[in-house]
Structure 1
Amino acid sequence: MRKIVFTFLIVLFVTTNNTQAQGINFEHISLDEALAKAASEDKLVFVDFYTVWCAPCKVMSKKIFPLPEVGEAYNKNFISIKLDAEKKGALAAKKYNVSSYPTLAFINSSGKLVYKDTGSQSAESFINLGKKAIASLSSEFSLEKLQQEFPNKQNDEHFLKIYVEKMIEYGQSPIHGIEAWLTVQTEIKEDDVDMMEYLMKHNNYLLLNSKAEQILKANFDEYMDIATRAEERELKTFHLKFIKNTRDFAIKTKDAELMRSFIDTWKQLPNRYRRGNPTEYELIYLAILEDYDGYKKLAQEYISGIINAKPIAQIQKEDAEYFETFQKNYKTNYSINREQTMEKLKSHGKIAGENIETITKIGHTYLKLTKKKKDYKVLESWIEYGYELVPNSFYINDLKADMLYKKGKTKQAIALKKIAVEKWIDSKTRPSKAYELEKMQKGETL
């Protein structure tokens, strides 16, 4: 009997120690279930938004989350879950504006975001992050309270300054707050060095046709006189930053007016500063406008232009020559994605690969708008050209699989999607394609 009791005590001691020494207890439940549990236990939900290809996510999972001190801090204060932002957590990621990984989000039981940060962190900073999330609940400047008060405090200079600082701290966009503060502030003279430094500090949040751009244009010469050489270089390219910010923010928020402003300004840039394709930007604009007939018409014209630009034989000849040159210089090519580039060139070629990626990118959006037979015929003609250009292209297989699935040909779609996923090269997008396959197999809407 003593032996049994002694053995039991040893097991209990080991189990207790293991429990105390564990890291974060990530529960295998949905976000809705986590929110319900958080409500019953009066806790916040901590969500690790990750992707399978994200290196910093793996660092956090292997080196930070398992630490005992991290587990002790998080397990008593949070209901913790992990969500793959490209698979089952895609909808939640979209809801909470997750665009970089890992995103470390703290959500109250009502489903409202109270705190957020991104990137790999040390154990100390991660534990402090949890403390900040808890402290924010009782703060008069909690994220929820700030967002509620912002519309009614557009003329409150003091509030707006705090709002901007806190939105950045909470990992939210301060763009509207900066615009409001710059419009009403009396703290800094617009031609002063402090204003120049403020604009530079917040350069990632400044848009075209904004108060910030107005200030910069009106005081550009004064700023150049007081700027250091490094600041002079930044000031000379500041306009490009406004343009890029406007493009990114317009696409993220689906703001047609901002997108139009970006396109019109971008077209006036010297060729050396242009990045992207004007027609593809116009297509994005039409999609934001929900002008679907306009989108389909322009898409047809654009893809027809690509198809008719060069004969397939000429493209294949030029791609073979390019691949031969790339192979010769392979060892001295220090591109980060050198091996992946090599695989793409080998399977698709340079020009052919670019053509097919453009066709499939636009084709997927076109498919979503496709309802009539004539639209399917257009899409089928693009797919046929793609197979002629690169037989068995996994990009084209993927597009055709989605089309077959929409037409109700599920078995054929799943078989083709499997082939596409197996051959998919891009490690960043492969998980999302694998998830689409899972949804097909379950009969769910893509």
Structure 2
Amino acid sequence: MFVGFGKPVLASPADEPPGITFFKGSWKEVLAEAKRQNKPIFLDVSTSWCPPCKRMAKEAFPNARVGAKFNIHFINYQLDAEKGEGIAIAKQYAVASYPTALYITPNGNLIHRSVGYGGVNAMIDQADLILAIPQLKVTLAKGDKEYANGKRNPDFLKRYLNARQTLNRPTSDVLDAYLDALSESERTMPETMLFIADALQSSNTKAFDYLIKNRPSVLDSDLTKQSLARAITGATSRVLDSEFKQACATNDEALLETVIANSERNTVSENPFIGRQDAQKQEAATDYRLKFYKATRNFVKYRAIAGPVAQNQLMSQSVSELQKLDSVSAIRRENNLALLPDSLKRLMPTAFIDNKLPMASLPSWKVARLLHEIASTYLELGTSPTDWDPALTWVERAIVLYHTPEYVSTHASLLNKRLD
């Protein structure tokens, strides 16, 4: 158990810490210092471009209350996830969002993870939570031993899951064991499915498979089933989004492909009565890969996919053809709404029924958005006129289809690149 959790010696206002004091040295030296003082480590993982990181550095780190709390009870350390040792350590602890606060034992084990910045009071409350955890860790250590020895009673597994969640430890193996331990009637109870959805951490689990195979429809007339369907959708989306961010943060292409496959399964599960064409599946996979290679700044692979998409697909239809498709889409929507029974219409938002076709649903808008996205990435990551010339053509088409200040600005920046 960590020392230093007792009542600190009171200091005079002149001696009050001005803010958090961060340890200077290597990660190995931080761990050694934590062992020497027998204190947990507060590790702030950030990046130079992250706005919440900058706000936390400006507001919280210089704050005297935060400094008094953290300097007494923790060894404080900072890392940039994109520089030096920070790259490997962020990968080791699967950091995918910034800022991420990691609370770590002197031997390097993760105690707790917190993502984002909620203000000075939230940081202090978080520290108090961590300082109370040793008592919980005793309970969890007993659960670890019983689980390792094969205890699989559903009540025990549920308590054990709750304890692991409180410490932000992985739960996927325990959640699958809990699902296996339940009877079929227990598995299908709404409260059980809600619990599984809340504890879900991975798309490569029995729990994820069970949820997508047994989710009710959000259009079900039963309000309980509607609510459950929304909860499952939220959980599966949360997990897939987290895994995609982790793939980007760790440059893990194998995890990316897993996310693509499981995202497709999730989409089919959400819309079981709408057949997915191969072109739709390919479009979704391409979108994931483009976002991944942009995030990892792998322009060679990004360009290999994006260039043909922009030139051979998005530019293949003329402006007049796309405008005709806009009209067809609007007519089709009106016809489809007319065919819906009143019972289903009552379940839809009034705005959806009354409003005209949203801009984001127009074929021309989608083409313009994608052309601009690709052109702006070529602007950001490209290195020569070979990249900027086609990007100029693409953004010019985007402006014709959907004129916005953002698109015009990208066009101007590309022109400047060509003149430099």
TM, length-normalised to structure 1: 0.55
Change (3 A) 1:49 1:328: same
Aligned counterpart for 1:170 among listed residues 167, 172, 176 = 167
Deviations 1:69-107 (A, max 9, x none): 222211111111221122132221111111111111122
Give the Å deviation of 1:277.
0.9
CA contact (8 A) 1:23 1:71 kept: yes
Shift of the 299–195 alpha-carbon distance from structure 1 to 2, 3 Å rule, reads: same
1:210 and 2:194 are equivalent in the alignment: no
Unaligned runs of 5+ in 1: 1-14, 285-297, 331-337, 350-389, 394-446
Provide structure 2 residue ranges, at least 5 long, that are not aligned to the other structure: 1-10, 269-275, 294-299, 316-385
Task: Report the counterpart of residue 19 of structure 2 in structure 1.
Answer: 23
- The equivalent residue for 1:329 is 404
- 1:364-443 to structure 2, matched below 5 A, reads none
The DSSP-based 3-state class of the residue aligned with 2:186 is: coil
Between the aligned partners of 1:306 and 1:94, the Cα distance in structure 2 is: 32
Counterpart selection for 2:394 from 308, 316, 319: 319
- Deviations along 1:233-280, one digit per CA (max 9) or x if unpaired, are 627957974994696399479695994685387397456675341894
CA-based RMSD of the aligned residues comes to 4.9
CA distance in 2, matches of 1:303, 1:219: 34
- Deviations 1:9-46 (CA, angstroms, capped at 9, x unpaired): xxxxxx96443142211232222222211211121121
The answer to whether the 8 A contact 1:23-1:66 is kept is yes
Q: Return the match for 1:127 from 100, 124, 127.
A: 124
Aligned partner letter, 1:321: E
**In structure 2, what is the Cα distance between the partners aligned to 1:235 and 1:21?**
45
Contact 1:188-1:194 at 8 Å conserved across structures: no
For 1:301 and 1:319, the matched residues in 2 are separated by 14
Q: How far did residue 196 of structure 1 move?
A: 3.6
Aligned residue type for 1:157: P
1:191–1:222 contact (8 Å) kept in structure 2: no
Match of 1:275 in 2: 284
Using the TM superposition, give the Cα deviation of residue 120 of structure 1 relative to its aligned residue in structure 2, in angstroms.
0.9
2:42 is matched with: 46
Alignment partners' CA distance in 1, 2:404 and 2:165:
44
Q: Please state whether the residue corresponding to 1:181 is helix, strand or coil.
A: helix
The 8 Å contact of residues 164 and 174 in structure 1, kept in 2 or not, is answered as: yes
Encode CA deviations 1:278-320: one digit per residue, 9 max, x unaligned.
8949x99xxxxxxxxxxxxx97995698399569899467336
1:417 aligns with none
Residues 136 and 142, structure 1, Cα contact 8 Å, conserved in 2: no
Instruction: Indicate the residue corresponding to 2:377 in structure 1.
Output: none
Structure 2 Cα separation of the partners of residues 322 and 177 of structure 1: 52
Equivalent in 184, 197, 217 of residue 194 of structure 2: 197
* 8 A contact 2:179–2:187 mirrored in 1: no
User: Structure 1: which amino acid aligns with 2:264?
Assistant: W
Which of 56, 65, 69 is matched with 2:65 structurally? 69
Which residue in 1 is equivalent to 2:308? 306
Q: TM-score normalised to the size of structure 2? A: 0.58
Q: Report the CA distance between 1:172 and its aligned residue.
A: 4.2
Query: Residue 95 in 1 paired to residue 92 in 2?
Result: yes
With 46-55 and 178-187 compared, the bigger mean Cα shift is at 178-187
Q: Matches of 1:50 and 1:117 in 2, distance apart? A: 12
Residues in 2 aligned to 1:150 and 1:272: alpha-carbon distance in whole angstroms = 43
Contact 1:100/1:118 (CA < 8 Å) preserved in 2? yes
Aligned to 1:48, the other structure's residue is in SS state strand
